[in-house]
Structure formats: structure tokens, C-alpha cells
Amino acid sequence: MALIELENIYKTYGEDEYTTVALKGVDLTVDNGEFISIMGPSGSGKSTLLNIIGCMDVPTKGVYRLDGVNVTTLRDKELSRIRNQKISFVFQHFALMHHFTVFENVALPLWKRELSKKEIKEKVDHYLEKLGIAHLKKKNVSKLSGGQKQRVAIARAMVAETDIVLADEPTGALDQENGARLMELFCQMNEEGKCIIVITHDEKVASYTKRIVRIVDGQIHSDTKGERQ
Ligand code: ADP
Ligand code: ADP
């Protein structure tokens, strides 16, 4: 069974004469442990597609099966439960909680789970250590550099231990060196079995992935194996 199965997905924004059809019949199947980049011109529907895969938004038409469950028919509450269980996000501008510490930001996905404070602390410490940011744990995230912030965002995605990690232009606000480091981390997570899907404009970023899906005007234009395959 595929992990992600999109069948003839349409997404329309707006009403009446003001509509934009952002996705026009997208079919996409993704298996466990894949590492994919989504590329395409600005406005082609990449973020819309990622938002639908991430259960942040629902398609106007079509069926989305996540781990065999048709999520298009679920209520908001169920949808957010599945999202929290299965999906982590990494964003271009990190989406951290500015007035909180590194520890608090990384611990965020764990508060909703039934874990003791000790268990939370152990898990968070483990991933801070793994990413080499344990020394920053008590710092306010607003005091960090871009590269450090993105490491915090990755630690937060790792601590959730979800099968799927979605990233929208995760290297967009980083310099080349930090961008390359970030992609190495994604490779490592992928080797550990995570399914990773990254939106990027950057061919160099895409070259780290195993499959490249190109979108043009709301449709899949090509779907090819990457260099790492
Ligand atoms: P990309 O990520 O490839 O830049 P998007 O998925 O953000 O593309 O957008 C695809 C199209 O849908 C664009 O024309 C964009 O303006 C439109 N769009 C995206 N989100 C919304 C929204 N929330 N409301 C209205 N139009 C939107
Ligand atoms: P990126 O391409 O870096 O993902 P975008 O500028 O395409 O960023 O979109 C950022 C956010 O704004 C997305 O959540 C998208 O859904 C929303 N958005 C994009 N275009 C529109 C629009 N025309 N109207 C309303 N929201 C939009």
C-alpha cells in the first residue's frame, strides 16, 4: 500500500469570476521512505499541493489516501489528529515561536502526546544533541542565526518522529553552506526511513533527492528519478 495516494486532485481558490484553479487533476503516488523534490515556476501550485499532502488544506475534487485512509472525507478534528500523528513541516522562514527557547520550540509537537515531562526532556535532549545545538537549549530562538534556526526547526520535525516530513523552500533563507548542511540532514533522516518531500527552486537542492516532480500550471509536467537513485 502506498503511503500517499493522490487521485485526480483539483484545488480551486475563490468564488465566481474570481477563482484560481491551482491544481488541475494531479495524480501522485508516494511510497514509504521516498525522498522527493517538487519543482516548478512560482504560482504553479507547489505550495497548494504540499498543503494538501500535509492535511493543512483539502482538495476541491479528487481523492487523497494517506496510509490507506481517505482523508478527503474527514472532519477537521480527525484531519488534525492524523496530521499530528503522521506529518511534520519545515518552512522557509522556520515558523518558530519567537518568544520561546530552543528547548520549548523543539518540545512543541510533544505536548499533545501523553508523555511525562521526563520523557519529553529525554527526547528533546536527544535530538538537540544529534543536531549539535544542545548548548543553545535555553536561548531564545530570536537570538539565533538562520542556520541555527533551521536546525531548531529540523529538531522539532525529528522529535515528532512522524513518517512524513514536508518542507516548503527550507533552504530559501539560508546561505549555500547552511543549505547544503540542511540537505545532508534530510538525507540522513531519509536513510533512517522517513519520507521527505521538499519544494525547491534550486537544482542543487533537488540533486540531493531521489525523485523530482515538476509542476507547471497546476499539472504534473514530469516525474523523474533523481541523481541519488
Ligand atoms: P507555488 O507554491 O508554486 O508558488 P501556490 O500553490 O502558492 O504556487 O499557488 C498556486 C496558485 O494559487 C497561484 O495562482 C496563487 O496565487 C493561488 N493561490 C494560492 N493560495 C491561495 C489562496 N489561499 N487564495 C487564493 N489564491 C491562492
Ligand atoms: P512560496 O511560493 O514561498 O510557498 P507563496 O508566496 O506562494 O510562497 O505563498 C505563501 C502563502 O500565501 C501560501 O500559504 C499560499 O497558500 C498563500 N497564497 C499564495 N497566493 C495567494 C493569493 N493569491 N491569495 C491568498 N493567499 C495566497
- Distance from the CA of 86 to the center of ligand 1, in angstroms? 24
Ligand 1 geometric centre to CA of 64 (Å): 19
Higher pLDDT, 21 or 130: 21
Tens digits of per-residue pLDDT, 39-59?
Answer: 999 999 999 999 999 999 999
State whether the beta carbon of 14 lies less than 6 angstroms from ligand 1: yes
Does the pTM of the predicted model rise above 0.90?
A: no
Q: What is the DSSP string of the chain?
A: --SEEEEEEEEEESSGGG-EEEEEEEEEEE-TT-EEEEE--TTSSHHHHHHHHTTSS--SEEEEEETTEEGGG--HHHHHHHHHHHEEEEETT----TTSBHHHHHHGGGTTS---HHHHHHHHHHHHHHTT-GGGTTSBGGGS-HHHHHHHHHHHHHHTT-SEEEEESTTTTS-HHHHHHHHHHHHHHHHTT-EEEEE-S-HHHHTTSSEEEEEETTEEEEEEE-TT-
Whether the per-residue pLDDT at 229 is higher than 70: the answer is: no
Q: Residue 57 CA: which ligand 2 atom is closest?
A: 16
12 CA distance to ligand 1 middle (Å):
9
**Pair 215, 53: CB distance under 8 Å:** no
C-alpha span between 91 and 153 (Å, rounded):
8
Atom of ligand 2 nearest to the CA of 92: 3
**Does residue 228 have a pLDDT over 80?**
no
Q: What is the pLDDT of residue 169?
A: 93
Percentage of residues in the chain with pLDDT exceeding 90?
Answer: 83
* For ligand 1, atom 10: residue with the closest CA: 45
Confidence of residue 223 (pLDDT cuts 50, 70, 90): very high
* Ligand 1 atom with least separation from CA of 14: 25
Q: Is the CB of 46 under 6 A from ligand 1?
A: yes
Q: Is the CB of 93 under 6 A from ligand 2?
A: no
pLDDT in tens, 72-93: 999 999 999 999 999 999 988 8
What are the pLDDT digits (tens) for 117-159?
999 999 999 999 988 999 999 999 999 998 899 999 999 999 9
Better pLDDT: 16 or 43: 43
- Ligand closest to the CA atom of residue 13: 1
Residue 186: count other Cβ atoms within 10 Å of its Cβ.
23
Tell the residue nearest (CA) to atom 26 of ligand 1.
13
Report whether pLDDT(220) > 90: yes
Q: Would you say the ipTM is above 0.85?
A: no
| Ligand 1 centroid, distance to 42 Cα (angstroms) | 9
Atom 12 of ligand 1, residue of closest alpha carbon:
22
CA-nearest of 214, 222, 226, 223 to 41 is 214
**Cell numbers given for 121:** 526532556
